[in-house]
């Protein structure tokens, strides 16, 4: 099967910066606790702009970088687990706002693994010659789902969007995706519905207590230690699996862009894989965890710095709520 070419990258990062000291103003925490355990110094937070605005800005940046117009886009796939609307899909809002009137649209949600999922789907459409140009956007506003009294979680997350424009190529592409739904309670955000359905008197009982243990409404809830343990294994398994499938060993990779959840997770997984740390790109120190936007934001940082060169063997690997995980090895 053929591969894909990244013809443009883009990103949007909100202006407002919340460094670790800002969290000490309202939480019993400190830079001395956060940085050594996570690798995070600061994260960006979108105060006034909705998630789809960030996605539009990243999309426009990627189209400009690709040198094509929005009307050239045949398909928009958006990855988000923090949408502004249950429906329509965010891809439809982006289509309208950037003027991609010829594009089909849908969203995917595999949480932090979402960019890998979206690119893998894009690859299938491109390889089948169904579409010529696919825009993949990963846009996340994690600040909207944080309980800012939960110091073990809220310090990890930020807001941002990244985008890529993809076309078919004859270069190497291999992917792997996995999920462990049994483990979903390790990381979730339950929707809280307000309802005036007349058929059930006890609204709370009918709509909200069907999962008794899920106390927090519309907030991210996680078992940090369980996620940590899962993530190290998931990352190394995902890379090993795709590496075997395409015959490129982890040592032969030129560049690895991992999901940016925790610097210690990244370090441990790359050590297990035998990949030298200088090949592994991280931006968690200044971005925090921006879920599925982590990888495309990093990709754009590297691309704009001239570091995504033709022929490079690139590995992207993600994991997140689900629990899901996935990886791609491709020749750029
Ligand atoms: N500041 C200060 N103290 C904190 C703190 C903070 N921000 N967060 C937790 N603590 C405290 C806890 O209350 C606990 O105190 P206690 O021992 O007095 O009860 C202590 O630090 C240890 O807490 P624990 O939750 O066991 O810490 P940890 O070493 O597991 O680190 C994480 C917490 C969240 C940093 C870590 O588990 C992690 O990164 N997990 C992965 C999460 C993740 O990446 N999620 C997204 C995946 S896509």
pLDDT in tens, 206-219: 555 555 555 567 89
The yes-or-no answer on residue 259 being catalytic is: yes
Shortest-distance atom of ligand 1 to CA 152: 8
Task: Note whether 100 and 160 are same-domain residues.
Answer: yes
Contacts of 190 (CB under 8 A, 6+ apart): 211, 214, 216, 217, 218, 221
The residue nearest atom 20 of ligand 1, judged by CA position, is 152
Task: Report if residue 199 sits inside a domain.
Answer: no
**Ligand 1 touching residue 225 (CB < 6 A):** yes
Last residue of a domain, one of 136, 170, 204: 170
- Chain segment 164-197, per-residue pLDDT in tens: 999 999 999 999 999 999 999 999 998 877 667 7
Least confident of 48-52, 78-82, 187-191, 322-326: 187-191
Task: Report if residue 201 sits inside a domain.
Answer: no
Ligand 1 geometric centre to CA of 106 (Å): 35
The residue nearest atom 46 of ligand 1, judged by CA position, is 261
Q: Which of 20, 65, 109, 259 is catalytic?
A: 259
Task: Report if residue 114 sits inside a domain.
Answer: yes
Contacts of 207 (CB under 8 A, 6+ apart): 192, 193, 195, 197
Task: Note whether 94 and 142 are same-domain residues.
Answer: yes
Task: Note whether 16 and 141 are same-domain residues.
Answer: yes
Taking residues 257-285, what's their average pLDDT?
A: 97
Task: Report if residue 210 sits inside a domain.
Answer: no
- Chain segment 132-143, per-residue pLDDT in tens: 999 999 999 999
Task: Note whether 160 and 98 are same-domain residues.
Answer: yes
Task: Report if residue 206 sits inside a domain.
Answer: no
User: Which one, of 33, 44, 124, lies nearest residue 294 by Cα?
Assistant: 44
Instruction: Say if residue 315 is exposed, middle or buried (CB neighbours under 10 Å; 0-12, 13-18, 19+).
Output: buried
Task: Note whether 56 and 43 are same-domain residues.
Answer: yes
Task: Note whether 233 and 116 are same-domain residues.
Answer: no
Task: Note whether 45 and 122 are same-domain residues.
Answer: yes
Please state the domain count of the chain: 2
Task: Note whether 161 and 247 are same-domain residues.
Answer: no
Task: Note whether 162 and 129 are same-domain residues.
Answer: yes
Ligand 1 geometric centre to CA of 150 (Å): 10
Task: Note whether 146 and 273 are same-domain residues.
Answer: no
Taking residues 80-102, what's their average pLDDT?
A: 98
Q: Which of 56, 81, 105, 112 is catalytic?
A: 112
Task: Note whether 127 and 178 are same-domain residues.
Answer: no
Taking residues 271-280, what's their average pLDDT?
A: 96
Task: Report if residue 91 sits inside a domain.
Answer: yes
Domain extent at residue 100: 3-170
**Ligand 1 touching residue 232 (CB < 6 A):** no
Domain with residue 158: its CATH number is 3.40.47.10
- Chain segment 28-63, per-residue pLDDT in tens: 999 999 999 999 999 999 988 999 999 999 999 999
Task: Note whether 155 and 45 are same-domain residues.
Answer: yes
State pTM to two decimals. Answer: 0.96
Taking residues 8-15, what's their average pLDDT?
A: 98
**Ligand 1 touching residue 330 (CB < 6 A):** no
Task: Report if residue 208 sits inside a domain.
Answer: no
DSSP state of 140: E
């Amino acid at each position: 099967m053929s591969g894909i070419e990244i013809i443009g990258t883009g990103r949007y990062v909100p202006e407002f910066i919340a460094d670790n000291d800002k969290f000490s103003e309202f939480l019993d925490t400190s830079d001395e606790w956060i940085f050594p355990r996570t690798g995070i110094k600061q994260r960006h937070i979108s105060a006034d702009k909705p998630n789809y605005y960030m996605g539009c800005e990243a999309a426009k940046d990627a189209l400009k970088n690709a040198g094509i117009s929005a009307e050239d886009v045949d398909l928009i796939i958006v990855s988000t687990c923090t949408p502004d609307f249950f429906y329509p899909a965010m891809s439809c809002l982006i289509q309208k706002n950037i003027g991609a009137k010829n594009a089909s649209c849908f969203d995917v949600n595999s949480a932090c693994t979402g960019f890998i999922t979206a690119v893998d789907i894009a690859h299938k459409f491109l390889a089948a010659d169904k579409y010529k140009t696919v825009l993949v956007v990963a846009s996340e506003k994690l600040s909207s789902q944080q309980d800012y009294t939960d110091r073990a979680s809220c310090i990890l997350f930020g807001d941002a969007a990244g985008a890529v424009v993809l076309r078919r190529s004859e270069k190497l592409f291999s992917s792997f995706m996995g999920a462990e739904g049994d483990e979903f309670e390790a990381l979730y955000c339950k929707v809280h519905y307000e309802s005036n359905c007349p058929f059930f008197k006890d609204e709370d009982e009918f709509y909200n207590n069907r999962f008794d243990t899920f106390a927090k409404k519309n907030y991210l809830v996680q078992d940090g230690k369980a996620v940590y343990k899962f993530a190290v294994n998931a990352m190394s398994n995902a890379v090993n699996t795709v590496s075997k499938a395409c015959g490129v060993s982890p040592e032969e990779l030129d560049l690895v862009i991992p999901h940016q959840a925790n610097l210690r997770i990244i370090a441990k997984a790359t050590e297990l894989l035998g990949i030298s740390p200088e090949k592994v790109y991280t931006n968690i120190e200044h971005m925090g965890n921006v879920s599925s936007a982590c990888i495309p934001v990093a990709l754009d940082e590297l691309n704009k710095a001239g570091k995504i060169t033709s022929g490079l063997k690139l590995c992207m690997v993600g994991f997140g709520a689900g629990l899901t995980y996935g990886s791609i090895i491709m020749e750029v």
